[in-house]
Structure 1
Amino acid sequence: MMERRKFFRIVFRVPATIRQGCISWSSRIFDLSLKGALLEVPIDWKLGNEEDYSIQFQLNESDIYIDMDLKLIKECGKYLRFKIDHIDIDSASHLKRLIELNVGNDVLLHRELAQLTDMKDIL
């Protein structure tokens, strides 16, 4: 099957909290890209409403947290596919650096950043 992804995904397995309004779930991130995230379906998951979700996770061995507002794209099996809807400048900088360290290719990273028309002004 041909790969259709436009953004490089990195395997990044850390605990995360998914929130929607006053409801929160404990989950785990499987992978990240500059455009979205793949998370584990929480044990007590109940599909919310059409509102955005937010996730927060901590970078390994640091006091840095990344916060993102997301739209749920698809729930399939034990995975939740999210698209980043909004990310603050600090979280975007940390996410960019995390991807950069894992991609190891500046040309590929800059190409992906250029494709992010909604984020390229803040990175």
Structure 2
Amino acid sequence: MTHPSGTDERRRFQRIDFDAPTELRQGDRQWPVKLLDLSLKGLLIERPAPWDADLTQDFDALIHLDKEVTVHMQVELRHEEPTRLGFVCLYIDVDSMTHLHRLVELNLADSTEMMRELRELIED
């Protein structure tokens, strides 16, 4: 896969296109955002306007799968583009990981790929 900077990158975690109500929080600030895709290791969102975050601090990402189920991740901004922001997951609780695992599993056609990703996640 080619990175926006032009360098080649081999993705270890499959991204799935997914649209769900999502918010990004940092302290008392919060931004409703458009989720573009996610993986077991992070997420990509449209850059909100205005974007006045403290880039030295971590964020909480909340992905509302339905009224009762929310995936909650502590994330770090990993790359910033004019229209998109990419975050890597620093921490996710067991319930959120279970929901995210199931979501990714349903969207990956190859169960072998899912097992490989889980092994890589555990080994990180």
TM-based fold match above 0.5: yes
Give the partner amino acid of 1:19: R
Q: Distance in 2 between matches of 1:71 and 1:118?
A: 19
Report the counterpart of residue 83 of structure 2 in structure 1: 78
Assess if the C-alpha contact under 8 Å between 2:26 and 2:53 holds in 1: no
Alpha-carbon deviations, 1:31-54, whole Å to 9, x = none? Answer: 001111001111121131411101
Structure 1 residue 3, shift from structure 2 partner: 5.2
Give the partner amino acid of 2:78: I
Report the counterpart of residue 96 of structure 2 in structure 1: 91
Q: Distance in 2 between matches of 1:97 and 1:62?
A: 17
2:118 match: secondary structure: helix
Report the counterpart of residue 19 of structure 1 in structure 2: 25
Q: Distance in 2 between matches of 1:65 and 1:110?
A: 23
1:109 match: secondary structure: helix
Give structure 1 regions of 4+ aligned residues with deviation exceeding 2 angstroms.
none
Sequence identity of aligned pairs in percent? 37
Gaps of 5+ in 2: 3-7
Cα RMSD after superposing both structures:
1.6
Report the counterpart of residue 55 of structure 1 in structure 2: 61
Would you say how many aligned residue pairs link Structure 1 and Structure 2? Answer: 118
Once the two structures are overlaid, the 10-residue window that deviates more, 38-47 or 107-116, is 38-47
Give the partner amino acid of 1:103: L
1:116 match: secondary structure: helix
Q: Distance in 1 between matches of 2:21 and 2:123?
A: 27
Alpha-carbon deviations, 1:85-104, whole Å to 9, x = none? Answer: 00000000000000000002
TM-score by length of 2: 0.88
Residue 106 (str. 1) matches residue 111 (str. 2)? yes
